[in-house]
């Protein structure tokens, strides 16, 4: 039965994508603040 394994992999991928998106968003905000300061 590969279904539970597939679900686990999908969840893991989703968590990684969310973590990357959150990190990118935080970096983007910092970059915008810096751009305003210049």
pLDDT at 7: 94
DSSP class of residue 14 equals: H
pLDDT at 18: 94
pLDDT at 25: 87
DSSP 3-state assignment of 1?
Answer: coil
pLDDT at 36: 83
pLDDT at 11: 96
The DSSP-derived string for 1-38 is --HHHHHHHHHHHHHHHHHHHHHHHHHHHHHHHHHHH-
pTM for the complete prediction? 0.56
pLDDT in tens, 1-38: 788 999 999 999 999 999 998 988 888 888 888 888 77
Tokens of 22: 């959150």
Distance CA 5, CA 14 (A): 14
């Amino acid at each position: 039965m590969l279904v539970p394994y597939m679900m686990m992999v999908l969840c893991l991928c989703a968590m990684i994508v969310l973590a990357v998106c959150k990190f990118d968003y935080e970096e983007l905000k910092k970059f915008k603040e810096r751009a305003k300061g210049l």
